[in-house]
Structure 1
Amino acid sequence: MFFVLLAFCAVFFITYTLNDLYIKQNVQTVRVATVTKKIPPYTLVTKEQVTMLPLPVSVVPEDAVLNVEEFFQGQKYYTNELGLGAGDLLRREKLSADNTSPLGKLTRLSDDQTMLVAINTNLVQSCANLVVPGTLVHAIVYIKAKGMGEEDVVISFAEDPGLANLLVVDKKNANSAVVEEEGREAIPAVVVFKLHQNQQNVAKALVKYNETGTVYLLPVGFQGDVFLGLAAQK
């Protein structure tokens, strides 16, 4: 009789515990960050785009954001290739702390109000291939004389201040591939600069110099975050 009573108590305790757990998971709620409107792929996510809504504990994933202020403090987050829809939970696995994919970099141009411009280069013009993404360069332009009575023209950043402190963000070889460290694939063919959108005159000048002369790049500094961003894509 004693063992029957003990077994009954054990079954009652287990049943009570399971029922209590079920009730807590399905009735007890927690406030979770939820997206208020569609956020396109590779787009910066801000706390103004989310709201806190109560949801049953049972449907809240482990990577859900429960504290918006803490989540966004000192950190930027971007959507991945799928983006987020209105009503989606803000989840860490659907976000990225960087935006260095090719499409992500293009999206950031709008956010940062910047633009890209490319020029031709080679081993000599790129200072023996020392010009890598993240390098700050001064440019010098050489324009060969067209006729016997004319002189060659050399334009430096002293004559054209727009040629100073240009930021290199990418370089490619003749196959439009990332420049390798050895062999013919190491010979750069194109260098890409990032400019602010209000630097239209600088962009126009670079295009003109690239078409009429030869642009030589002189490294003068380095921004490591740009280099690391490109390395993260490999």
Structure 2
Amino acid sequence: GDLRRAREALAPLQKSGALGNRAYAALEARVLAATIQAAPDGASLNTLWSQLPKTQRRVPAVIDAYARRAAAFGLTLPAMDEVESALRREWSPLLVETYGTLAGDDIEARLRRAEGWLDAHPNDANLLLTLGRMCVRLELWGKARQYLQRSLALAPGAGAWEALGDAFAGQGDAQQAQRCYRNALAFARGDAVVALASAANPLQPDTRPIALEERDVHGVPRLRE
């Protein structure tokens, strides 16, 4: 519980090489995230964030912790700036999900921006979950269901089942909503989930992964084996 000493121990621990790169990176992210989550107010959070080295401020788990804590203090714009800057540098499924959960009045603009990422990441289940959640917030129920069902087909998760339940509830389908919520609990417990009734999804959206065209350095499409 001594976060100050934990942070002070990071540099010498890294120099010692005792943990190895992967284990040290995981520990560093955990310590920094815990430190950020303990910030008592927005001013303290911003001071802490500005004092962190650039390398630490580029760790996705650390950015996630900062963005969520900043948003909790009403600092939504700085939170969004950090997440968007990070995604421009390097794609991160974790930060994509963060992007969709933060509060704010710009949800429509955020949805359009996130939908633009689908061209490069059509099979990213986290992106599809994020899009589905934002559509639920905008009460775009049919669109939300398409995104969420595709996300579930690619990578089943409790969060997607819960959001899909919200979409069905928004459409007034209490039976299917309850089934989705039960599936969310079952998945979290490691139990089997129950498939939705086909009548609940007459359109049956295509949930197959989308093949991306690969090109070489000269722009010539590569042949797949």
TM bucket by the smaller chain? Answer: under 0.3
Please state which structure has a larger fraction of its residues in helix: 2
Q: Which has the higher strand share?
A: 1
Q: Which has the larger radius of gyration?
A: 1
